[in-house]
Every structure is written in C-alpha cells, then in structure tokens.
Amino acid sequence: MQNKQGAIRQDKRVATLTLDDGRSIELPILSGTLGQDVIDIHGMSKWGVFTYDPAFFSTASCTSEITFIDGDAGFLYYRGYPIEQLAEKSDFLEVCYLLLNGQLPDAEQKSNFVRKVTSHTMVHDQIVKFFSGFRRDAHPMAVMVGVVGALSAFYHDSLDINNPEHRNLAALRLLGKLPTIAAMAYKYHNGYPFMYPKYKLGYVENFIYMMFANPAEDYVQNPKLVRALERIFILHADHEQNASTSTVRLAGSSGANPFACISSGIAALWGPAHGGANEAALKMLETIGDVSKVPEFVQGVKDKKYRLMGFGHRVYKNMDPRASVMRDTCYEVLQELGLENDKLFKLAMELEQIALHDAYFIERKLYPNVDFYSGIVLRALGIPMNMFTVIFAVARTIGWISQWNEMMEGDDHKIGRPRQLYVGATRRDFVEMGKR
Ligand code: CMC
C-alpha cells in the first residue's frame, strides 16, 4: 500500500518501541523503491515522547523521487540514472530537465527548455546596481547570498508559490540568471566590466564567456575545458537531502518565495564542511606545499589537529562516485593544458594513496569525495579559489529548485518544525538587579 508521499507501507511490518512505563508503541515500517527501510515515527508525539537525532544521522526528513544515494555501495542516481552515465553521455541542461521534470526530454522538449532557460540569462538592469553596494573585496559567496535573495523583489507578479506555472517560471529564471550573477560577482571583485550573456552559446560555454571574455577582444573557448566544467556542473547538480537542500526545503516549508529559499541554500552551502570544502581542500594542498610534507600532515590529521579536507562524507562510506569521475576529468584537463606534472596534483595523489592505505582512514571509512579533485580542475581552468563554492552553487541551483518544487507539489506539506531536548534552567523567579 502506497502512502500519500509515495512510500510503501508494509502491511504486517511494524517496529515496536517499549517505554519504561510499560507502554508499547507500534510504528509502521515504510519502504521506498530503493534503499533502507524507515520507521515512521511521525505520529509518536501523541504518546508524549519525541525522538532525539541531532545532525539527522538516522532521520529521513521527507520522501523524494529525485536523487538516490547508496553510500555503502558508492552509487548515485538522478531520477534512476547512474551519475557516471549522465556525466559521460548527457549535458547539464538535459540533466536539469531530468531533475526538474522526472524524465529525460525528447528533442523538442530539450530545445524548448534550452531556449527558455537561455532567454532568462539576462538580469534586470537594477540588479547591476546591487553590486556597487558591496566592497570590491567581498567574498563572491556573500554577493551571491545578497543578490540572489534580492531577486525576490523583482517578480511580484509571478510569485504565487501555489501556482505551478509561477513555480516553473521561477525555476527557469533561477537557472538562467545564476551563472550571470556568479560571473558578475567575479568581474566586480576584479574590477572588470560585466559581460552580457550570449544567447548563441551553450549554458556552460556562456558562463565561461561571461567570466573570462572582455569587450575589447574575441574570446575563443577550448571545447575540452568546456566539457570538463560541464561535468563538474552535472556532478554537483543534486545530492538528496544535504545541508543546503534541507535548508531550502525548510525555508520553503514556511511559504517563503523561491528566490529567498535558494539564497538560504547558498548560505548553507558556503561552510567548509559542505560546499566550501573544494576551496578548503585546495588551500590545504597549498599549505602542505610539498610531497615530502605529506606524512607529517597526515599525522596531524590522525592527531585530530585538523581534518583532511575533501575526505569523508556523511553518507558515502565508500568511494564517492562523483570523485571517480572527477579524478578522470582531472587527468584529462591537466593533460590538455600540459600540466601533467602539476605540483598540487602530484601532492594530492600522494595524499590520496597514503590516506587510502592508512588504518585511521580505513577504520572510519574515509574516502576522497568530489571536492578532493574538483578544486584542482577548477584551478587549472583558471577559476580563482574564492569562486569554487560559487560554481558549486550555480550547479546545485537545479537540485535546490527541483527539491523545493517537489515539496510544493505535495498536497500535504507542512512547515518544518523540529523539537528539542531542553537542558537549560528549570523554572525560576526573576531576581531584581540589586540582588543579583
Ligand atoms: N579528516 C579526518 N578525520 C575525519 C574526516 C576528515 N575529513 N571526516 C571525518 N573524520 C573522522 C572524525 O574525526 C571522526 O573520528 P572519531 O570517530 O575518531 O571521532 C569520524 O571520522 C566521523 O566523523 P564525523 O564528523 O562524525 O562525520 P560526519 O558524517 O559528521 O562528517 C563530513 C562528514 C563531510 C562533514 C566530514 O567527513 C568532513 O568534515 N570532511 C571534510 C570536509 C569535506 O570534505 N566536505 C565535503 C563533503 S562532499 C561535498 C558536499 O556534499 O558538500
């Protein structure tokens, strides 16, 4: 029997929880189409108890049809399609269509989608003025949080979150404008003139053009490098209920508009434990500086002085499948650019080998994640370190908006409202100032 959210209720299967006062609570066990079963605790509060699961180690916060991860096996599927196949055979906008609509597009659906996204790549001229309010040395992620949130103020006539057409329009606008805003953040930081998007270019090509072209000369692109960035975009497009996606869903559950929700996702992504890890991983490699320093650095990790950035994952207890694709891309890009002997790449390979064979990392199932390699690729493409997380945000926007849309489409979504285990002072009376 399927419940309203699409999970399958196993008729005879329940988990029984016995409280220390002798009461016994029967909790339904639900199955999805793939992955672990879950115990449905959502009716438990009526028994006067809550569950306690800080950092959500054991909690599914929603049902979803979008992305599946098997962390033990190291699988990642978007709408059922393995990430490796999409990275090799598809392109970013096709993956966006898939994530948003649930199916791969046919030729006509694809060209319509590409045309619509492309037509939304320019930003309102007033948006340009927001940039000058920032200091030139502002981190581009700070600019992204502000400017993307500010988009909320531009589309009053199409912000009805209960209207599927308005939601679709918001998705197209966000998808179209994020690369433009990201490139503008880069240009502003460096004092270069903004470049308008070019409709004739592909999505990723256009982003590279807006980042690196200037009005004074022609700009020629290397298709192999475009393809490498396209792959980075595909690999980062969605990753089920991670911190930023859960933030977007939680913000959206209150009825906030999609631009505000995506801005909250960008803020959550910024941290070094999440999207900031690629920047942190590259900084770490630069700090180590030389292959000879790797053993000493690894000892410091084992002594818990610092973490090995780009390693470990809450869900993957095996190789991150995105990391395997990214490592291949890393080789390809460095070869294309004649940088096979790149010092940081060699250092990363040495670090990877030592960590993969060290008991500390093996016991804790710590493997390289996508960010261990993506920083090296982005750096080779000429993208500055402070733009790494911005690139992640541009790519993840489709995941956030698809997850938000899925939640809004559901007929019984409610405001997200976790409870707490209160450990503060018990009731006490106010003490007058003179008696404290
Ligand atoms: N380096 C060294 N030790 C680590 C690392 C690491 N990168 N990650 C986890 N550990 C150890 C940790 O010290 C703990 O050891 P012990 O049991 O002795 O206390 C054990 O492994 C479990 O760690 P945890 O913090 O409970 O694991 P978590 O699931 O909460 O953390 C993580 C997941 C991704 C935040 C963490 O692995 C980490 O900080 N990694 C580095 C940052 C990083 O690369 N993040 C990118 C994630 S992939 C991109 C994305 O999806 O956002």
Percent of the chain with pLDDT over 90: 86
Q: How far is CA 278 from CA 4, 10, 112, 209, in A?
A: 38, 42, 34, 23
pLDDT at site 3: 62
Nearest CA to 406 out of 165, 23, 172, 101 is that of 101
pLDDT at site 1: 58
Residue 308 has pLDDT above 90, yes or no: yes
pLDDT at site 11: 64
User: Cα–Cα distance between 213 and 206 in angstroms, integer?
Assistant: 10
DSSP-derived secondary structure letter, 368: B
Residue 58 has pLDDT above 80, yes or no: yes
For the CA of 57, the nearest atom of ligand 1: 29
403 C-beta closer than 6 A to ligand 1: no
Catalytic residues: 274, 313, 371
Where do we find the tokens 């906008």? 93
399 C-beta closer than 6 A to ligand 1: no
For the CA of 320, the nearest atom of ligand 1: 48
Calculate how far, in angstroms, residue 288's C-alpha sits from the geometric centre of ligand 1: 19
For residue 127 the two structure tokens come to 């948006």
87 C-beta closer than 6 A to ligand 1: no
Residue closest via CA to ligand 1's atom 52 equals 274
Residue 380 has pLDDT above 80, yes or no: yes
240 C-beta closer than 6 A to ligand 1: no
Q: What is the average pLDDT across 309-322?
A: 91
Q: Determine the longest span between alpha carbons in the chain, in angstroms.
A: 79
For the CA of 314, the nearest atom of ligand 1: 29
Residue 346 near residue 294 (C-beta atoms within 8 A):
no
Given pLDDT bands bounded at 50, 70 and 90, which one contains residue 410?
Answer: confident
pLDDT at site 197: 98
How long, in residues, is the chain?
436
Nearest CA to 96 out of 107, 106, 105, 83 is that of 105
For residue 146 the two structure tokens come to 């502000």
Residue 96 has pLDDT above 90, yes or no: yes
Residue closest via CA to ligand 1's atom 24 equals 314
Residue closest via CA to ligand 1's atom 37 equals 312
Calculate how far, in angstroms, residue 273's C-alpha sits from the geometric centre of ligand 1: 8
Residue 329 has pLDDT above 70, yes or no: yes
User: Cα–Cα distance between 226 and 207 in angstroms, integer?
Assistant: 10
Task: Annotate 234-284 with DSSP letters as a single string.
Answer: HHTS--SS-HHHHHHHHHHHTT--HHHHHHHHHHHHTSTTTTTHHHHHHHH
Residue closest via CA to ligand 1's atom 2 equals 307
CB atoms within 10 A of CB 138: 16
Helix (H, G, I), strand (E, B) or coil at 342: coil
User: Of 266-275, 392-401, 410-419, which one has max mean pLDDT?
Assistant: 392-401
Where do we find the tokens 């960008």? 266
**Identity (one letter) of the amino acid at 189?**
H
Residue closest via CA to ligand 1's atom 17 equals 364
Residue 120: what are its φ and ψ, rounded to 5°?
Answer: -105, 15
Calculate how far, in angstroms, residue 69's C-alpha sits from the geometric centre of ligand 1: 17
At what angle are helices 370-380 and 223-235 packed, to 10 degrees? 150
pLDDT digits (tens, 9 = 90+) for 333-371: 999 999 988 888 889 889 989 888 999 999 999 999 998
Given pLDDT bands bounded at 50, 70 and 90, which one contains residue 143?
Answer: very high
Given pLDDT bands bounded at 50, 70 and 90, which one contains residue 319?
Answer: confident
Residue 118 near residue 202 (C-beta atoms within 8 A):
no
pLDDT-wise least confident of 121-135, 228-242, 334-348, 390-404? 334-348
Residue closest via CA to ligand 1's atom 9 equals 312
Calculate how far, in angstroms, residue 364's C-alpha sits from the geometric centre of ligand 1: 9
Average pLDDT along the chain: 94
Residue 94 near residue 205 (C-beta atoms within 8 A):
no
CB atoms within 10 A of CB 110: 15
pLDDT at site 360: 95
pLDDT at site 10: 62
Q: What is the average pLDDT across 36-55?
A: 92
Residue 107 near residue 355 (C-beta atoms within 8 A):
no
Calculate how far, in angstroms, residue 38's C-alpha sits from the geometric centre of ligand 1: 24
371 C-beta closer than 6 A to ligand 1: yes
pLDDT at site 40: 94
pLDDT at site 340: 86
Q: Which residues 6+ apart lie within 8 Å of 423 measured at CB?
A: none
**Identity (one letter) of the amino acid at 258?**
P
Percent of the chain with pLDDT over 70: 97
Q: Residue 151 burial (CB < 10 Å; 0-12/13-18/19+)?
A: buried
Calculate how far, in angstroms, residue 390's C-alpha sits from the geometric centre of ligand 1: 22
Residue 175 near residue 120 (C-beta atoms within 8 A):
yes
Given pLDDT bands bounded at 50, 70 and 90, which one contains residue 192?
Answer: very high
pLDDT at site 413: 81
Residue 12 has pLDDT above 80, yes or no: no
Residue 7 has pLDDT above 70, yes or no: no
Residue 6 has pLDDT above 80, yes or no: no
At what angle are helices 370-380 and 343-356 packed, to 10 degrees? 170
For 19-50, b where at least 16 C-beta lie within 10 A, e where not — what string? eeeeeebebbbbebeeeeebbbbeeeeeeeee
Q: How far is CA 221 from CA 212, 214, 333, in A?
A: 10, 13, 14
Helix (H, G, I), strand (E, B) or coil at 369: coil
Q: What is the average pLDDT across 207-217?
A: 97
